[in-house]
Amino acid sequence: MISSHPNRSNTGTGVTLAFICLIILGTLPVVSNSRPPGTSALAFAFFLSVWQLIFSLPLFIHELISGRRGLFGMEGGSRERGRVAAVAVVTGIMFGLATWCYVLSMEKAGAVSASIAIQTYPLFAILVEMVLIRQGKSFLELALTLGLVLDLYYLGTGGTWQLAGISAWFLAALGVPLLWSIAHVLIREELTTTPITPAQVTFFRVLLSAVFLGAVMGGTGDGGRFFDTMPYAAAMGCLYYLELLVWFHAVRHINISLASAVTTPWPAVTMVLAALFLGDKIQGYQVTAFFIAVGCVGALLAAGAARNRSR
């Protein structure tokens, strides 16, 4: 059973780390959409995953040299080791798919709309926590969750409320937080029950993601514009790696839904940067949807904290 009650003394540290994630998350969509035209989403997702792997190597090796063996010093039978390996493979594939969907939805749905869709990660985190750890929710929390769903529908239809207005690319954006939430809940179990370190989690996550995306890219023959893409893939890979590392440290101190709630306003950073560097025009319905989502998530956070205090 996954623990849903992190040490309260570490809450401040977890929130601070999650806030750092907020800044990085707001920057990533702009970097992704700044890449040269003609670079496919699949190829860019693979290249940035390779760069993530490269950036993750120094800390991974440093821990081993310094004697912090983590997973490699884990005691237990083959069954426990097999479970850890299975979780690594499954979540690696999930993260690989999420990275592909992320790049594709940013390009096709637009940085701002895709960012707001992905920003509703708390909605999926709450639903996954309810299913996997059987964490009950109050009526208010369920009502606010419904509010988030309606807000997503409004955003997906471009503010028209017409079902025909929802694009496949917007749905691809929603696939990102769904995959993230499932994978993060599974990984948090390993972080809290095994000696594996956040650096090792990050290394194996990007290694398996790169292998998966490389296999898919090899099967499709999609190589992309290799040399033109590298500076953007390196920048994206570096920032994404830092965000992952900080995120896994954060969720060691606070639960998934709280950490994701702290990062909720990151599309506001994307809005400003996209307008400045990409020339994107911010639509009124996007601003409306963003503030509704922030309000719902903020209220969800307060309702969850009140429920925990009453226990």
Domain ranges of the chain: 12-310
- Cβ(213)–Cβ(46) under 8 Å? yes
Kindly tell me the sign of the dihedral angle through the C-alpha atoms of 9, 12, 15, 21.
negative
Measured distance CA(196)–CA(84) in Å, rounded? 10
So what's the pLDDT on residue 236? 95
- Cβ(179)–Cβ(101) under 8 Å? yes
- What average pLDDT does this structure show over 278-288? 89
Measured distance CA(273)–CA(240) in Å, rounded? 17
> pLDDT tens digits, residue range 173-231?
999 989 988 888 888 777 667 777 878 888 888 899 999 999 998 877 666 666 788 99
State which of 57-66, 72-81, 253-262, 299-308 shows the largest mean pLDDT: 57-66
Closest CA to 238 of 27, 15, 13: 27
pLDDT tops 90 at residue 130 = no
So what's the pLDDT on residue 4? 43
Instruction: Specify the range with the lowest mean pLDDT, choosing from 8-12, 61-65, 152-156, 259-263.
Output: 8-12
Token pair 């809450």: residue: 11
pLDDT tops 60 at residue 67 = yes
Q: Is 137 helix (H, G, I), strand (E, B) or coil?
A: coil
